Amino acid sequence: MDSSPTIHAGPLGAQTQYQDGYEKSLLHPMARAEGRQAVGLDGWQLAGEDQWTAYEFSWLNARGKPEVAELSFNVPVTSPNIIESKSMKLYLNGFSQTRFPNAQELLATLERDLSGGFGCTITVNLRGVNTVEKTGLLPGQCLDDLDIDIDVYDYSPELLLCEDRAAEAEHRLYSHGFRSLCPVTGQPDWASIAIDYRGVTIEPARLLRYLVSYRNHQAFHETTIERIFTDIWQRCSPERLSVYGRFLRRGGIDINPYRSSEDDVAPQIRVARQ
């Protein structure tokens, strides 16, 4: 039987090589520091985490029978590295034709490799596909209901504007219309963005225009959310701020970064499109 990797050609002739078997070296870590320097976060003490979910994870048990599960893990914002999502997809795909004597050894392998890649301790959870997870609604005001004209689709932080008043209040806002572009493939990354802050009011129409201005912006999920956090923090000086990106899956994997001035753990919300 031919065990060589399968090569799939895309509609434009691009080829992706999938490893037919477990291979740790497929993981591609990248230092967080470079992206944070680019958005002016170098040296900041951020709180938060990145929530990863792989919906198409499979492996072979000791008798060669395929097992399937939803795989998830959280990466603390303090980890020195992120892992490029396509390399994660190729790495996890290699498990689909690899035998493990038991689930404990499978988990140990995943946790050892991922901890090494991210540079911190990672705990992996496997969830049976028959377990139905309820979806939730993002709290607060939906910016998408605003009846406004928009004509800026390139990153424009100057669109942010705070109302000129001293009173501070709690604000919860979100948009389902967010799009940015993958810096590796140029493919669209769709998301729902939730912004929770205490401070002077950010003009909602200007905030929506600002979020839409990412439509042609190329950046990784983690860097994108950190840039939004930084722009709001520096331009609007809130007393407290969190930004949560619920990105749609691509290649069976979604990454949901959460950045906060206070909280390390993200809310457990999974929106309907996910």
Question: Is 144 one of the annotated active-site residues of the chain?
Answer: no
Whether the CB-CB separation of 59 and 100 falls below 8 Å is answered with: yes
Catalytic residue among 50, 113, 189, 231: 189
Interacting residues of 63 by C-beta distance below 8 A, sequence separation 6+: none
Is the torsion defined by CA of 79, 191, 26, 96 positive or negative? positive
Structure tokens belonging to residue 260:
């906060």
Which of 101, 90, 81, 84 lies closest to 34 in space, CA to CA? Answer: 81
Instruction: Using DSSP bridges, classify how beta strands 29-31 and 81-83 pair: parallel, antiparallel or unpaired.
Output: antiparallel
Angle at 17 between CA 16 and CA 18, to 5 degrees: 115
Question: Is 236 one of the annotated active-site residues of the chain?
Answer: no
Catalytic residue among 120, 142, 162, 182: 182
The residues that are catalytic are 182, 189
